[in-house]
Each structure stands twice: as structure tokens, then as C-alpha cells.
Structure 1
């Protein structure tokens, strides 16, 4: 089967193509699954290829498509080896599976248009999902927003300082006579080093429980709903942020969602 060909007169930089393919495979495999299953201009692909995720499900998995190539006229993906086998099973162990070419209709006018077109196809595919599984409608979040200055960053650093403090206490580096203990005494911390150790140990379970719960809820109510593929780079950035800073990560994620919704309305 042929692979995408660069349009005459357009020289696609190999390094940029490689980064695009790597980015799609790291963060957008579930999006490619939605395009294959629900984008109207794409020849139908049997849902059995993605049976482990379910037709229309939002969670990524090892059977999601892998992008092999992309050009101005189409992109090529490798499908799972079969609906009931893990990649590599039944195909000689090479994980080749089935190769599928998805045409850009119309072809891209330039290489710089690739991201906009892929996002457009993903949103159209998600919009075509049944209402029970569409969830976020056409909004797909594929970005991360770092803690804002000063409030988000202050909370982030404060909680990070607590985790570091707990690690130091557990490592015995706040023992009587240690440099840290002398610093606490000099700063007149209530109860001195002993008071500091007691406080750090006492609040550890509540702090950990709250932040694990917040991490679980962000994944369930935000990341999964708005198409952030589990295990992707963007997913890990959000999970790491919410585990440290908690509620501030929710606020930033919602800011991104609202911006994307406004952008969608402007295009309509």
C-alpha cells in the first residue's frame, strides 16, 4: 500500500515530520482511533480492531493506531494486528497489523496546516459520537498550562516543600543536632525540630489522601472527558501538577476548556 507523498513544490522537513509523528503517537493515538471510526470521509474500519477500548471510548490503550507517515495528501497509520490480539500476536511477532491510509480532503495547502487539520478532523469525529459517549462535544485538550505566578506557583512550591520536608524527616536529616534541626531552632519554629517532625508526620496521611483523591477526580472529570490520552506526555504533566498543587490545576484546566469552547464558537 502506498504511503503519503509530498506534494510537488512542498519540501517537508524530515525533522519536523519525525516530530509530528512522534507527537501523534505519544499524545494522540486515541484521537486517531476516533478519526478512523467516526470521521465521515474516512473509509469505515471495523470497531473490532479497537474492542479493548470500545467503540467511542475515550481511554487510550496499546491497540490504538500508530502513525507511520504523514504528507500533504494523507497520513498512514498501523492498526492493531487483530481485534482480539495484542500487537505482535498472529503477525510473526513484528506488530505490523493492518496499514490504513487516511486522505486529507482537500489536501493540505501547506505543511504548516497539518496541526489545524488534524485537530479539525478529531473534533468532527468526536462530534459524531453518540451523545452518551461524546462527553466534551468537540473540545479536545492537547496542551498543558504551567502554574501561574504568583498564586498557583506559590501553592505548588509550598506543597512541594512539604513533600521534601517529609522526605528529610524520614531520612533522619531533621534529627536532634542536625543542620536542619539547628536551623529550625534558630528560626524559633514552634516546638523546634521535634515540633516540626510531629507536624510533618501528623498531616502526611491527610495531605496524601486529599491529593490522591484530587488526582483521581481530575483524571475522571477532566482528562478522560476532554480526550487527554492516559499515559501521554500531557496526561503526565496534568497528573503530576494536580498531585502536587491540587485545586489550582483544576482551575487552569477549566481555563483551557473555556478558551477552546470560545474558539469553537468563533469558527461556527
Structure 2
């Protein structure tokens, strides 16, 4: 067997795990026949080894190491880049996935996955932020028994427009407390899921370091604002991708 340089093997695996985790999953589906559902259940793929005959890809949840054969086997280690690209192209075409960008580290594909700096929310998002913070503040008052003033304000406001506990289930102090208690758990779950989805689908693919300042700001504001944070992040990501593509053309 032809000699494989350990340093270049390590660099190749690091590059694939960092910039082409999607392709690793597509290799498992295209060559090994895993379904999208099976791949999702097994977890994120990671290349743990490669030789002239096969790639070895481990899935994070199950820890299974899948052997992905290279057919035909490579004759020399120097073929690896083109073989990986060709296989990625075939797999993406088979599953209708947009073709990847391949090139030097300065190319648009890898550059487009760089961390996205946090951007402050706009006026509408600030209103949403205020509403969510107010809701959690009122929930805290209700659950700690310090809600007398808040319940009194609620009652006076509704009474002023002709709404009382007699014609509206959430009228009066008891109705206010009932409303907060019914809403708290669903609202909290929705906001936690939104923050988790931001990490999974945006921050992690863009190599955002967990618990860094930018990471924490994105997670915190997504928890409080929700959908608006996704729109803002995606807008910045598209802007970054366009800038990377323009820089590539200049070179």
C-alpha cells in the first residue's frame, strides 16, 4: 500500500469535519444507504480515519463507525481531495442538495461559515423583547406571591373597558393569576426550543465558540425575541457569503 502522510491525513480529516460535515452525512446516505431519518437518529457524522480504500465516519449519538468504501480504491494518497469532491458532487446531485464550493481556504464556501458577529435588535424586536421580559417579570411576581400590585393594575385596566371576572375568565386578580400560570410553561418551552434551534442550525454550523460573548448574546436574544433573531442572523450570513464570494472573484 502506498504511504500515507500522517500530517496531511490529520489536516484532511480536520478540514472535512470543520467545513464539510454535511458531505460526510451525504456519503453515509449515498454510499452506505442510510436514510435521512437514520442519519438524524445516529447523530452528527465525524471522519475518524481514512486510507486508500475507505473513509471511516463515526456518528456522534450512537458512536457507530461506518466504513465508507472508495470504489475503486485510490492508487495514491494525493488523489484524496479530488475523490472527496467527486463523491460529494455525486451525492449532492442524487439528493438534490446544492453543490458545494471547493477551493482554497479563502474561497466563498468555508469563508461563508465563519462566525457571525452579534447585531443589536431593531425597533420591532425591541418591542417583542420588552413584552417577553415583562411576561417573565410578571410570572416571577405570581410564582413568588408578590403580584398584588400587578393584579390590581390588570383589574383596573380591564374594568375601565367594561371587562370583569363576570364576563371574562381572565378578569380580576384571580383571572390574572390563572392566565399567567396557564401561559408560563408553554411560553418558556417555546423560547428554550428557539434558543436551542439557533445553536443547532446557525451558531454551530458557523463555528461559533460556545459561551463566547457573541454566542451568549445570540442565544440570550433568541430566547427573548425568537423568530426575529433568526431573520437577523440569516441576513448577516447572506451578507457575509456575498462578501466572501466577491473576495474570491477578485483573486
TM-score normalised by the chain length of structure 2: 0.52
Q: Of Structure 1 and Structure 2, which has the larger fraction of its residues in helix? A: 2
Tell me the residue number matched to 1:156: 129
Show CA shifts across 1:221-246 (max 9, x none).
Answer: 10011121111110000000111111
d(CA) in 2 for partners of 1:160 and 1:124? 45
Residues 159 and 183 of structure 1: CA distance in aligned 2, closer, same or farther (over 3 Å) = same
Q: What are the equivalent positions in structure 2 for 1:14-33 lying under 5 Å apart? A: none
| Structure 2 stretches lacking a partner, 5+ long | 1-6, 19-102, 160-169
Contact (CA 8 Å) 2:155, 2:173: kept in 1 or not? yes
Is the 8 Å Cα contact of residues 147 and 156 (structure 1) preserved in structure 2?
A: no
Is 1:180 equivalent to 2:181 in the alignment? no
Q: Name the CA distance, whole Å, in 1 between partners of 2:133 and 2:8.
A: 46
Per-residue deviation, residues 105-155 of structure 1 (Å, max 9, x unmatched): xxxxxxxxxxxxxxxxxx964869xxxxxxx63221241011101x11111
Q: Structure 1, residues 165-212: CA drift from partner, whole Å, max 9, x if none?
A: 1111111111xxx32232222212741221111111101121111111
Q: Return the structure number with greater relative CO, CA threshold 8 A, min gap 6.
A: 1
Given candidates 4, 14, 21, the residue that maps to 1:55 is 14
CA distance in structure 2 between the aligned counterparts of 1:45 and 1:173, rounded to whole angstroms: 64
Q: What is the aligned residue count?
A: 146
Indicate conservation of the 8 Å contact 2:107/2:245, yes or no. Answer: no
Verify: 1:265 aligned to 2:245, yes or no. yes
Q: How much is the aligned-residue C-alpha RMSD, in angstroms?
A: 2.8
Structure-to-structure mapping, 1:1-268, within 5 angstroms: 47=10, 55-56=14-15, 57=17, 125=105, 137-139=110-112, 140-149=114-123, 151-174=124-147, 178-188=148-158, 190-267=170-247, 268=249
**TM-score using structure 1 length:** 0.49
Which of structures 1 and 2 has the bigger CA Rg? 2
Gaps of 5+ in 1: 1-43, 49-53, 59-122, 129-135
Question: 3-state SS of the aligned residue for 2:111?
Answer: coil
